[in-house]
């Protein structure tokens, strides 16, 4: 049997267990830094499979590392399990129907991501045992990918330094191994403090913190013309100072995501935004405080590993789907805009695209391209890729045209085709990991490419050294009311 056949057999022998785990994480729907039940569920599952556990590290209560084996090479597999707020949705519903209004939901598919990676780690462990293969496999339980930057905290503390390679994946609408970079990001909050007054009787005595927020936003918007095209800046007013218009707001707050292709570019852009905030405070005679909440580095691709990963996915192929899968995917597809559907079709040749209205699930493996693409968004996998050669894949877990962070993602999170895509990702990562464990030359080539791409650049955390992830209040942790 080939490696792909052996890994497929190993994963399929435990597929019901993996599906059940993914469904439970979907039901927990815990947001960043609060994934206590999800982390316990996955770490216990790995411990029951013979992994050694290290919990609560790098300041992350909901982070863990599960290890099996000893010695070199050391292969890391990255898992995530955080949900998003405001995206509660009933599973299998064909229209918006929240379980809890404004509740949490897995709108980015991390219930699948964490368990697909877990399946990969367990399959690698089982293969190593069966074939007496030396080396170490580590599953990293990475909390708070969604605006929490768990891997950035982990990278700052050297958690990934022992690895030789790392693998990850993400739920998506297509099956592919991307050769891509991404934007680095700094997430920062700006708080302004003014002086309250009656807005009609004594407005001259007031100094409006909300005015400062608005002037800051205007200044940043004027700056957009004078930054590089790939940079992105987004903001949200998180505290407008109250609901009474006849009171001068004494406190207001705005949070920013500042993105650029390289760490030094995003740092420079952040300094410009910081100066605009200072200017807004000067104009309004208010005080300003700012705090970096987190950050991501850009992705460093590794074509050596990506080519092998694509080859494994191509050999595995996309699993067969049933009529129920197609029917539900079609119902989801019809909830999207015409523009969204046409955009999805444009990614395929005309003959394949013509079938998508009736079968809107991508069951083909897209060709691998060594032409570097660029993702305007950000991911904390980028921080890992600055530490160690890293490769990722995408698999079809959602109907074509499904936008990230929507109720439609949550509705599809427990579907059979979502599970099948998850297991394909697990098999693909496991097969690639085995190739690395068995082929010293492949590992050497991946590491040589990694060094060449960094070209002497060293990883420097964009997170302040004194910034730590949030932790539970002691009374909460022990259940004191």
Confidence of residue 479 (pLDDT cuts 50, 70, 90): very low
What confidence tens digit (pLDDT) does each residue in 90-116 have? 999 999 999 999 999 999 999 999 999
In the structure encoding, which two tokens stand for residue 327, read together? Answer: 């029917």
Phi, psi torsion values for 322, nearest 5 degrees? -100, 175
Q: What is the pLDDT of residue 139?
A: 98
Residue of 282, 54, 249, 30 whose CA lies nearest to 154: 54
User: Closest Cα partner for 374 from 238, 179, 191?
Assistant: 179
Over residues 296-332, the pLDDT tens digits come to 999 999 999 999 999 999 999 999 999 999 999 999 9
Residue 117 near residue 381, CB atoms below 8 Å:
no
pLDDT tens digits, 39-51:
999 999 999 999 9
Q: Identify the CATH number of the domain defined by range 184-296.
A: 3.30.70.360
Whether a cis peptide bond, with omega within 30° of 0, leads into 73 is: yes
Q: Distance of CA 220 to CAs 112, 287, 377, Å? A: 37, 18, 19
pLDDT at 477 over 70: no
Neighbours of 254 (CB within 10 A): 24
Helices 416-438, 303-316: axis angle to 10 degrees equals: 130
Both tokens assigned to 285: 């005679």
CA distance 419 to 417: 5
Kindly state the percentage of the chain with pLDDT values over 70: 98
CA–CA dist 19, 413 (Å, integer): 11
Per-residue model confidence as pLDDT tens digits over 357-395: 999 999 999 999 999 999 999 999 999 999 999 999 999
- Is the pLDDT assigned to residue 162 strictly greater than 50? yes
- Tokens representing residue 442 in the block: 């492949």
Q: Give the residues across from 259 on adjacent strands.
A: 185, 232
Distance of alpha carbon 204 from alpha carbon 199, whole angstroms:
8
Q: Both tokens of residue 131?
A: 């074939």
pLDDT value for 347: 86
CATH code 3.30.420.40 for 3-180+298-454:
no
SS3 374: strand
Q: Is pLDDT at 217 greater than 80 in this prediction?
A: yes
In this structure, are strands 373-375 and 180-182 parallel, antiparallel, or unpaired? parallel
Quote the pLDDT of residue 147: 84
pLDDT, average across residues 271-285? 98
Q: Are 306 and 369 in contact (CB under 8 A)?
A: no
The first and second tokens of residue 334, run together, are 């019809």
28 and 10 Cβ atoms separated by less than 8 Å: no
The structure's pTM equals 0.94
E strand residue ranges, 58-120: 60-70, 74-80
Domain boundaries, the chain: 3-180+298-454, 184-296
Q: How far apart are CA 147 and CA 150, in angstroms?
A: 9
Residue 474 has pLDDT above 90, yes or no: no
Under DSSP, the state recorded for 139 is E
For residue 466, give both structure tokens: 């004194």
- Token pair recorded at residue 311: 């080859």
Model confidence over 407-455: pLDDT tens digits?
999 999 999 999 999 999 999 999 999 999 999 999 999 999 999 999 9
CA distance linking residue 69 with residue 163, whole number of Å:
13
């Amino acid at each position: 049997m080939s490696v792909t056949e052996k890994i497929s057999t190993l994963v399929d022998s435990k597929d019901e267990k993996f599906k059940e785990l993914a469904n439970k994480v979907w039901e927990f729907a815990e947001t960043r830094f609060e994934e206590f039940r999800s982390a316990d569920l996955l770490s216990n599952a790995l411990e029951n499979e013979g992994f050694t556990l290290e919990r609560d590290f790098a300041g992350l209560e909901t982070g863990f590392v599960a290890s099996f084996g000893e010695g070199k090479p050391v292969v890391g597999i990255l898992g995530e399990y955080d949900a998003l707020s405001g995206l509660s949705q009933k599973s299998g519903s064909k229209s918006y129907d929240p379980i809890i209004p404004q509740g949490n939901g897995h709108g980015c598919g991390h219930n699948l991501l964490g368990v697909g990676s877990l399946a990969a780690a367990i399959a690698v462990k089982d293969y190593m045992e069966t074939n007496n293969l030396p080396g170490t496999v580590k599953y990293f339980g990475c909390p708070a990918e969604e605006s929490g930057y768990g891997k950035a905290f982990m990278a700052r503390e050297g958690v990934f330094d022992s690895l030789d390679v790392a693998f990850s994946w993400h739920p998506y609408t297509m099956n592919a191994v991307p050769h891509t970079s991404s934007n680095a990001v700094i997430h920062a909050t700006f708080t302004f403090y003014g002086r309250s007054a009656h807005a009609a009787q004594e407005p001259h005595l007031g100094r409006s913190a909300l005015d400062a927020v608005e002037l800051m936003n205007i200044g940043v918007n004027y700056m957009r013309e004078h930054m590089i095209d790939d940079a992105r800046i987004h903001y949200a007013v998180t505290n407008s100072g109250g609901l009474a218009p006849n009171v001068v707001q004494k406190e207001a707050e705005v949070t920013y995501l500042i993105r650029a292709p390289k760490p030094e570019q995003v740092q420079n852009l952040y300094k410009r935004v910081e100066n605009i905030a200072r200017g807004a405070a000067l104009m309004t005679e208010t005080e300003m405080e700012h705090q970096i909440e987190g950050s991501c580095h850009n992705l460093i691709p590794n074509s050596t590993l990506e080519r092998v990963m694509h080859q494994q996915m191509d050999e595995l192929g996309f699993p067969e789907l049933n009529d129920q899968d197609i029917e539900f995917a079609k119902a989801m597809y019809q909830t999207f805009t015409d523009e969204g559907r046409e955009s999805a079709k444009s990614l395929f040749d005309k003959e394949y695209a013509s079938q998508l209205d009736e079968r809107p699930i991508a069951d083909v493996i897209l060709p691998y391209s060594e032409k570097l693409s660029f993702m305007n968004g950000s991911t904390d996998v980028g921080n890992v890729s600055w530490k160690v050669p890293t490769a990722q894949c995408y698999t079809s877990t959602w109907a074509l045209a499904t936008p990230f962070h929507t109720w439609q993602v949550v509705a599809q999170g427990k579907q059979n085709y979502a599970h099948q895509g998850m297991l394909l990702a697990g098999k693909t990562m496991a097969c690639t990991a085995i190739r690395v464990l068995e082929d010293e030359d492949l590992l050497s080539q991946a590491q040589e490419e990694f060094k060449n791409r960094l070209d002497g650049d060293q990883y420097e955390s964009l997170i302040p050294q004194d910034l730590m992830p949030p932790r539970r209040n002691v009374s909460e942790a022990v259940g004191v009311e």
